[in-house]
Amino acid sequence: MDRRNDRALRARAEVVIPGGMFGHQSTALLPDDYPQYFVKAKGAHLWDADGGKVLDLMCAYGPNLFGYGDEAIDAAFIAQLRQGDTLTGPAPVMVELAETLVDMVGHADWALFCKNGGDATTMALTVARAQTRRKTVIRARGAYHGSTPWCTPRTAGVLESDRAHQILCDYNDVASLEAAVAEAGDDLAAIFAAPFRHDAFIDQAEPEAAYAARARELCDRTGALLVLDEVRAGFRLSRDCSWSHLGVEPDLSTWGKGLANGHALSALLGSDSARKGAEAIYATGSFWYQAAPMAASLEVLRRIRETDYLERLETLGERLASGLSERADAAGFGFRITGPGQMPLFLFDEDPDLRKGFFWSSAMLAKGVYVHPWHNMFLCDAMTEADIDQALDAAEASFAELRAAAPGLAPVAKMAFLSQTR
Amino acid sequence: MDRRNDRALRARAEVVIPGGMFGHQSTALLPDDYPQYFVKAKGAHLWDADGGKVLDLMCAYGPNLFGYGDEAIDAAFIAQLRQGDTLTGPAPVMVELAETLVDMVGHADWALFCKNGGDATTMALTVARAQTRRKTVIRARGAYHGSTPWCTPRTAGVLESDRAHQILCDYNDVASLEAAVAEAGDDLAAIFAAPFRHDAFIDQAEPEAAYAARARELCDRTGALLVLDEVRAGFRLSRDCSWSHLGVEPDLSTWGKGLANGHALSALLGSDSARKGAEAIYATGSFWYQAAPMAASLEVLRRIRETDYLERLETLGERLASGLSERADAAGFGFRITGPGQMPLFLFDEDPDLRKGFFWSSAMLAKGVYVHPWHNMFLCDAMTEADIDQALDAAEASFAELRAAAPGLAPVAKMAFLSQTR
């Protein structure tokens, strides 16, 4: 693959951006032939800096829910931008958006808006502590709730004090949750939970009904608040909170990513059980009242309510998972597809440094399909059955290439840390 | 003033937004007749929900640097939006923007991009700690560096541990800075400084050259990093860092607000003295790599380099300050206009609960000029001499009204806390 333009951009970036790139979109832990830069996007497709076009199964790590450059959503954004966006106060669209979210999300009685998913999770933390006048929060080991010091997964520059009054438990492990609650004693402010286990590098796991129900019971018993972190999964699994099908409602839920289909908007939703805490805290931002992303979000939410996008995502996800499973079996690979169909993660059996995963992902990319070797992916409503079939054809050929290459695959040095830490 | 629509929006918001509104754009601490909502903006003007049009001296609390709805800036934004905005990787515009900022800002060797001013200041904190492998940071009492737990001015829900390893000093007070550095011993990671004192509720103050120089010297002597927080003032006082005219360069500087003229973008700029720390930390966000705000910022930066916007802002600021001063004198009021002309703050003498300030500000509003009674304001490049003259005419009439009303002014109950805490 010709990566001349991408390499040139990387070389320039090495000079003016620490490490050449930062954060979750860095390709540092991806196969070497992955492009770092993209110059164009439409629907379910991306164009890299060297003219390559790919079907994008990452969807911008989540924000792309209805397709890149969706005409109606962007038209709503631009119309509001022309009217007024970042002003000296909010626009009426903020009230309409809060009302709409409160109507759509079962537990929600109110909304606060912000820019990052981490703004919402940090506000949830602060609201819970203000509401309960307690300090301790429980979260699952390895779960991602943002990159602010209290929860960032890489802790250079972070102090122990930034993470004081936290107890870690194991996701889906009722006993470890109960032990954490016991350890918190009478100081438990909140239990944080992801809607399912979507940690990087490991198999995803659906939430166990008993775990979700126990989290709710323990909060009720202790007067703590249950926080469901929907930033990554929100509205991809449900038109309500992701645990509503389990009959479990949180006190606080955090939203971002696809909420405005890629426009910068996140939100903290809360029940009346947390309203006083929300009134007490002070959190704000220069762009938190931007009207244009809110107008875009109203169109996103209308689409969520009025179309069969969710059933389409489920059907596409099932088609992808079953088709991949068949093809992996036929090629003789243990290939684990975990998590919800519309947010799958792929891992090969017996692949501690991901050499199989890297080879196969690179082969997919060469056939025009962008997959991620260790992070969950995302489907979007702009995808078609033909797109999924393209991915399956690419997968079949890539499994065959891997079958031929497997005996001689070199170790992936940069992923060796995985076998050391697991 | 008819505020029927604004009141109706507030009533709806009371139901679905905690306290009816949150954060720095809440009118809770403004005169009762101030509008909370705006429906339209263009250039230097805002339209409220009841059809009132005002000259806006707040400029969205800073982001409006070149005028609301600036055609060329928004065209750059929209063109990039149509090409691709939030993608699975950054667009080439990120590299171009980093190069441009490094070219324009004297101390900067690299850039990291984010969404909130507080993202940038929090990254500065973390980078400084990662770089120096020390913990303690010094900041000025009352200075605003964002609303994350480590620095938010209202601490409900915030723990002591969130603010551990911080020492407060007094801005412009060399002795207090030296005492803080002495207290930090061999653990000093950083000194934070605002480019001038722009705290709310009190007179603003220019930075004293001796204070700035001493902060630099103390950092050099101890191996700590100097962080200049340009989020509020950036590019309104200088085309470089705001302390460059004092001959003082920081190691890290934080930017936001006007960086993309209201589109959501902030940045941490750093010298090579902080590059390793920046490479070590992990901070990211779903929308941090958005290309459209970066494209808008390139047009903002071109305007900063190629036009006389800065000299215009200075001239307009001087015209406003001297005109107001004359009119206040003529009306017999002690009226303090503090801070740089393009970011002024107005306070009346002998006005502990701001009853004069509130009355006068309301009178200005009734004449179509939006001023703030206790926060610094901002001029923008879309303002004209005629706008300033309109403000001065309004001020003259408002001083006269205040002269007549002053003896009978009722206390402002909600601002009584000021006389208690000062």
Are B200 and B277 found together in one domain? yes
Size of interface A-B (CB pairs under 8 A): 351
pLDDT digits (tens, 9 = 90+) for B27-69: 999 999 999 999 999 999 999 999 999 999 999 999 999 999 9
Residue at which a domain ends, from A273, A306, A339: A306
Interchain proximity A277–B109, CB inside 8 Å? no
Are B326 and B344 found together in one domain? yes
What is the structure's pLDDT at B99? 98
CATH number of B148's domain: 3.40.640.10
- Domain that residue B25 falls in: 4-68+308-350+360-421
Interchain proximity B122–A149, CB inside 8 Å? yes
Is the pLDDT score of B217 beyond 60?
Answer: yes
Are B151 and B229 found together in one domain? yes
Mutation pick from A5, A22, A101 vs chain B, by most beta carbons of B within 10 Å, is A22
Interchain proximity B46–A286, CB inside 8 Å? no
Model confidence band, residue B267 (pLDDT cutoffs 50, 70, 90): very high
**Burial of residue A386 (number of CB atoms within 10 Å: 0-12, 13-18, 19+):** exposed
Chain A environment of B377 (Cβ under 8 Å): none
Give every CB contact of residue B42 below 8 A, 6+ residues apart in sequence: B67, B68, B69
Residue B128 C-alpha, separation from nearest chain A C-alpha, in angstroms: 7
Structural contact between residues A324 and A317, judged by C-beta atoms closer than 8 angstroms: no
Residue A185 C-alpha, separation from nearest chain B C-alpha, in angstroms: 18
Interchain proximity A266–B286, CB inside 8 Å? yes
Nearest to A86 by CA among B388, B115, B179: B115
CB atoms within 10 A of CB B217: 13
Interchain proximity B286–A154, CB inside 8 Å? no
Nearest to B9 by CA among A87, A267, A96, A84: A96
Q: Does a structural domain hold residue B355?
A: no
Sign of CA dihedral A344, A27, B122, A138: positive
Q: Does a structural domain hold residue A319?
A: yes
Interchain proximity B88–A61, CB inside 8 Å? yes
Residue B68 C-alpha, separation from nearest chain A C-alpha, in angstroms: 7
Interchain proximity B270–A18, CB inside 8 Å? yes
Of B82, B128, B161, which has the smallest distance from its Cβ to A161's Cβ?
B161
Residue at which a domain ends, from A261, A281, A306: A306
Mutation pick from B17, B53, B119, B144 vs chain A, by most beta carbons of A within 10 Å, is B17
Residue A173 C-alpha, separation from nearest chain B C-alpha, in angstroms: 28
CB atoms within 10 A of CB A207: 22
Task: Please give the structure tokens belonging to residue A301.
Answer: 């939410």
Are A299 and A313 found together in one domain? no
Are A289 and A382 found together in one domain? no
Are A247 and A105 found together in one domain? yes
Mutation pick from A286, A364, A379 vs chain B, by most beta carbons of B within 10 Å, is A286
For each successive 10 residues of chain A (422 residues), what is the average pLDDT? 94 98 98 98 98 97 98 98 98 98 98 98 98 98 97 96 98 98 98 97 96 98 98 98 97 98 98 98 98 98 98 98 98 98 98 97 98 98 98 98 96 90 53
Q: In what order do the strands lie in the sheet with A266-270?
A: A110-114, A266-270, A252-255, A225-229, A188-193, A136-140, A166-169
Q: Does a structural domain hold residue A84?
A: yes
Q: Does a structural domain hold residue B415?
A: yes
Give how many domains chain A has, as a whole number.
2
Are A89 and A219 found together in one domain? yes
Of A118, A126, A284, which has the smallest distance from its Cβ to B24's Cβ?
A284
Residue B64 C-alpha, separation from nearest chain A C-alpha, in angstroms: 8
User: Buried b vs exposed e over A130-155: b needs ≥16 C-beta within 10 Å?
Assistant: bbbebbbbbbbebbbbbbbbbbbeeb
pLDDT digits (tens, 9 = 90+) for A50-72: 999 999 999 999 999 999 999 99
Chain A environment of B370 (Cβ under 8 Å): 88
Mutation pick from A26, A80, A95 vs chain B, by most beta carbons of B within 10 Å, is A95
Sign of CA dihedral B189, B195, B201, B204: positive
pLDDT digits (tens, 9 = 90+) for B222-234: 999 999 999 999 9
Chain B environment of A62 (Cβ under 8 Å): 286
What is the structure's pLDDT at A19? 97
Chain B environment of A280 (Cβ under 8 Å): 156-157
Interchain proximity B122–A148, CB inside 8 Å? yes
Chain A environment of B12 (Cβ under 8 Å): 95, 99
Interchain proximity A285–B147, CB inside 8 Å? yes
Are B321 and B411 found together in one domain? yes
What is the structure's pLDDT at B421? 57
Nearest to A145 by CA among A176, A122, A177: A122
What is the structure's pLDDT at A421? 58
Task: Please give the structure tokens belonging to residue A379.
Answer: 């489907």
Interchain proximity B161–A162, CB inside 8 Å? yes
Chain A environment of B11 (Cβ under 8 Å): none
In angstroms, the Cα distances linking A119 to A282, A283, B115 are 12, 9, 10
Interchain proximity B22–A46, CB inside 8 Å? no
In order, the DSSP letters of A166-213 are EEEE-TT-HHHHHHHHHHHGGGEEEEEE-SSB--TTS--BPPPHHHHH
Task: Please give the structure tokens belonging to residue B416.
Answer: 């009584």
Is the pLDDT score of B135 beyond 70?
Answer: yes
As a whole number of angstroms, the distance between CA A105 and CA A124 comes to 16
Residue A210 C-alpha, separation from nearest chain B C-alpha, in angstroms: 30
B220-224 long-range contacts, CB within 8 A, separation 24+: B222/B181, B222/B184, B222/B186, B222/B188, B223/B132, B223/B188, B224/B128, B224/B132, B224/B134, B224/B184, B224/B188, B224/B189, B224/B190, B224/B191
Residue A404 C-alpha, separation from nearest chain B C-alpha, in angstroms: 30
Residue at which a domain ends, from A306, A328, A351: A306
Interchain proximity A161–B165, CB inside 8 Å? yes
Interchain proximity B264–A264, CB inside 8 Å? yes
Residue B63 C-alpha, separation from nearest chain A C-alpha, in angstroms: 7
- Tell how strand A266-270 and strand A252-255 pair up: antiparallel
Of B35, B127, B129, which has the smallest distance from its Cβ to A159's Cβ?
B129
Structural contact between residues B323 and B341, judged by C-beta atoms closer than 8 angstroms: no
Interchain proximity B87–A284, CB inside 8 Å? no
Are A163 and A23 found together in one domain? no
- Tell how strand A136-140 and strand B252-255 pair up: unpaired
Q: Does a structural domain hold residue B250?
A: yes
Percent share of chain B, pLDDT over 70: 100
As a whole number of angstroms, the distance between CA A89 and CA B168 comes to 32
Are A221 and A116 found together in one domain? yes
Q: Does a structural domain hold residue A66?
A: no
Nearest to A116 by CA among A161, A167, A62, A192: A62
Query: C-alpha angle with apex B375: B371 to B377, nearest 5 degrees?
Result: 50
Model confidence band, residue B357 (pLDDT cutoffs 50, 70, 90): very high
pLDDT digits (tens, 9 = 90+) for B63-96: 999 999 999 999 999 999 999 999 999 999 999 9
Are A116 and A207 found together in one domain? yes
Q: Does a structural domain hold residue A293?
A: yes
Residue owning tokens 């902080």: B274
Chain B environment of A97 (Cβ under 8 Å): none
- The chain-wide mean pLDDT, for chain B, equals 97
Are A320 and A409 found together in one domain? yes
Chain A environment of B121 (Cβ under 8 Å): none
CATH number of A364's domain: 3.90.1150.10
Beta bridge partners of A266: A114
Is the pLDDT score of B301 beyond 80?
Answer: yes
